[in-house]
Amino acid sequence: MSQDRLSLALSTGRVAVFEWTVDSDRLAIQGPLVEVFGVTASDAEAGLPLQAFFQAIDRRDKARLMSVLNRSIETGEPYEAEYRVHGSGEERTVIARGQVETDAQGGKRMAGVVIDVTEEKAANAALKEQTTALAILNRAATTISGDLDQNRLVQTITDAAVEISGAEFGAFFYNIIDEQGERYTLYTLSGAPREAFDRFPMPRNTAVFTPTFMGTAVVRSADITKDPRYGHTAPHYGMPKGHLPVRSYLAVPVKSRTGEVLGGLFFGHSQTDVFDAIAEERVIGLASQAAIALDNAQLFQAADRELQQRRRAEGELQALNANLEERVAEEVTRRAMAEDALRQAQKMEAVGQLTGGIAHDFNNLLTVIIGGLDTIKRSKTGDQARIARAADMALQGAQRAANLTGRLLAFSRRQPLEPKPLELNALVREMTELLHRTLGEQIELEGVLAPRLWTAEIDQNQLESAILNLAVNARDAMPDGGKLTIETANTALDESYSATDTEVIPGQYVMLAVSDTGTGMAKDVVARVFEPFFTTKEPGRGTGLGLSMVYGFVKQSGGHVTIYSEESQGTTVKLYFPRFTGSADSQPGPSEPVAPTSSEGEVILVVEDNDDVRAYSTMILSELGYVVLEAPEADAALAILRSNRRIDLLFTDVVLPGKTGRVLADMALHLRPGLGVLFTTGYSRNAIVHQGRLDAGVQLISKPFTFEQLATRVRDLLDRRIS
């Protein structure tokens, strides 16, 4: 190591070099890290007996360390040991490495380094603890997602919360409705026998418990006995005699979607200052899951009670003839209520499937991302090939996560569209080569393109993705080969057709159909194909979001989608897009992706409330050569805009605290007419997107974006402004 590199390493305070002359027992250490041994830098550099440094070493490590040293001196093997030291007043963990050298006279000396690894050890421990907590939370979520037994459900939540919070014991007091519709309170325990609480009454709405029972706040106390609200309520004035000892205390309300308090999670520990903010956040997450699960269980029970009541009413109706008309009307009302409850239950089941599918796919993607980053963290200097592979793996996982988010936004009709006049026949011809490569030689591709096809106004990128999705689904339905036909036509959907589907607006449409000669589907499968995460493919071959994304995109475009299929006969999916009646301007063809850089002195103002995203955007733009100004919210940005600083482009998030990005852009253009504005967002409803489409003249880059995408959009906007 050169002297400059050695000085740089020592300056960090985490490294020291040592030399131990064995025969004279003089150990010299150089570097700020010597403070952990409780000696001065001058004494350490001059050299002291080995024992002078050993005094600061943890007594639990001394014997092992001396054994390793002696073996290294005797055998000449490299010396390496990890141990704890306390000379600086706090416990630090270090790793020492050295090599024994013997001179011509037989004298031995050892030279090496001491490295402080305290932060790395703490980070690894925290990562392990977080991983364990995540596994517990996932296990609890999986267990309760389909459980309608409230006793089992709350026991699972209680056990999981005790595990992740570090409590000695915990209880879940919750309300339940019996068959007569009366409400009463039960409780579950974890970490303590039930008899420890049987002789005590239910917790009351005292000053300490009020926030929990009212659902207004979480109560977390490092020492509940020192809480000013504690010990003022008769008859016990504190903990009842014989109660389990509680010093640290944590209580979290469990509330339904309507705001009703369903119960509360209570945790205790005999020691003080046990529950921290992380434990509180985790228990709050479990409480939210418990609320959803309890709501679902009660909803299904309510639906069951309604169905039972309906059956009883039907029996009474058959037995009684008097007042028939009145009784029929009453029964119709009861049936409507029961059907509403059942529909709500089915809706919750669909929500459960959706959230479960999202959690499953994102957990898989996070495993890839975390694994890649962890590999990078553990890689040694010089292992560039391994680091590159791990980085590629993490980047690919992140990109798949971004694609999954885009599909979910498309299904929910929340993905901003940039529709432009489009000739569908030309698009189909341009995609022919891509489809041939995608489908393979076993699939025959045919286009039946209508002459004089009307123009439609569509987001071209989304339509290409939809066609590719349909083509891939068709290929998978023809494992032994077959024929795929893409057809276009002009058509009209009249009032009689729209009567069968209330979302269809009568009018002229451009139709695009994708047909295959594959295996087809049964009627019950066809009825579910547009549901998110529903798939007929084997595990690992499909996410179940392809058709749901197509459905959301077509509906968001103001169109209509139908599917026709018969088993062993094949499938046809028809997409209908409203006819465009305006004038279509020719659009330039796609250009090769580049990463253009800044012209001299160009200044960009970046406004983003998320610190990490703002740092990432600033890093990219600075790397491209732009002068970058930063602001975390609109008011700070306006202060910069009112100054005399040169600003060529405003790059702002749509969703900001206080004033939105759209409001900021309007004010910026008033202050600086002609200023370029580029919006970014991961999800936006009304600020710059209306009826699923970007407002006219608005320039948007969706999150997450890449280096090349941001570079291209920024350069394009700046060049337009200059021209």
DSSP string, 614-649: HHHHHHHHHHTT-EEEEESSHHHHHHHHTSS----E
Task: Say what the pLDDT of residue 583 is.
Answer: 65
Structure tokens at 7: 């000085």
Residues 6+ apart with CB under 8 A from 287: 157, 252, 253, 254, 265
3-class DSSP state for residue 584?
coil
| Neighbour tally for 456: CB within 10 Å | 27
* Cβ-based burial of 119 (10 A; exposed 0-12, middle 13-18, buried ≥19): exposed
Peptide bond into 416 cis (omega under 30): no
CB 350 within 8 A of CB 544: no
For residue 471, give Cα distances in angstroms to 318, 359, 444, 483.
55, 27, 12, 11
Task: Say what the pLDDT of residue 413 is.
Answer: 42
Structure tokens at 340: 């509403």
Query: Can you state the angle between helices 277-319 and 150-165, rounded to 10 degrees?
Result: 180
| Neighbour tally for 351: CB within 10 Å | 12
Task: Say what the pLDDT of residue 350 is.
Answer: 47
Q: pLDDT per residue over 55-82, tens digit each? A: 889 999 989 989 999 999 889 899 999 9
The angle formed by the CA atoms of residues 226, 228 and 230, to the nearest 5 degrees, is: 75
Q: How far apart are CA 332 and CA 157, in angstroms?
A: 40
Q: pLDDT per residue over 609-650, tens digit each? A: 988 888 888 888 998 889 999 999 999 999 999 999 999 999
Q: How far apart are CA 167 and CA 163, in angstroms?
A: 7
Q: Looking at the DSSP assignment, which residues form a beta bridge with residue 112?
A: 18, 98
Determine how β-strand 603-607 pairs with β-strand 627-631.
Answer: parallel
Q: Give the ranges where 440-513 is alpha helix by DSSP (H).
A: 460-476, 495-498
End-to-end Cα separation, the chain, in angstroms: 55
Q: What is the arithmetic mean of pLDDT over 570-585?
A: 82
* Cβ-based burial of 142 (10 A; exposed 0-12, middle 13-18, buried ≥19): middle
Task: Say what the pLDDT of residue 368 is.
Answer: 55
Per the rule left: phi > 0, alpha: psi between -120 and 50, beta: everything else, 693 is beta
Q: How far apart are CA 110 and CA 118, in angstroms?
A: 24
pTM: 0.34
Q: pLDDT per residue over 445-501, tens digit each? A: 888 888 889 999 888 888 888 888 888 888 888 888 899 999 999 988 877 776 666
DSSP 701: E
Domains in the chain, CATH or no CATH each: 3-116 (3.30.450.20), 123-294 (3.30.450.40), 320-411 (1.10.287), 420-578 (3.30.565.10), 603-722 (3.40.50.2300)
CB 513 within 8 A of CB 573: yes
Q: How far apart are CA 132 and CA 102, in angstroms?
A: 49
Task: Say what the pLDDT of residue 584 is.
Answer: 52
Written as one letter, the residue type at 427 is: L
Task: Say what the pLDDT of residue 124 is.
Answer: 76
Has residue 673 got a pLDDT over 60?
Answer: yes
For residue 371, give Cα distances in angstroms to 161, 311, 314, 359, 392.
27, 55, 60, 18, 11
Task: Say what the pLDDT of residue 639 is.
Answer: 93
Q: What is the arithmetic mean of pLDDT over 269-286?
A: 82
CB 46 within 8 A of CB 26: no
Written as one letter, the residue type at 63 is: A
- Least confident interval from 307-311, 372-376, 426-430: 372-376
Query: Can you state the angle between helices 384-411 and 546-556, rounded to 10 degrees?
Result: 50
Q: What is the arithmetic mean of pLDDT over 327-338?
A: 74
Position with higher pLDDT, 509 vs 180: 509
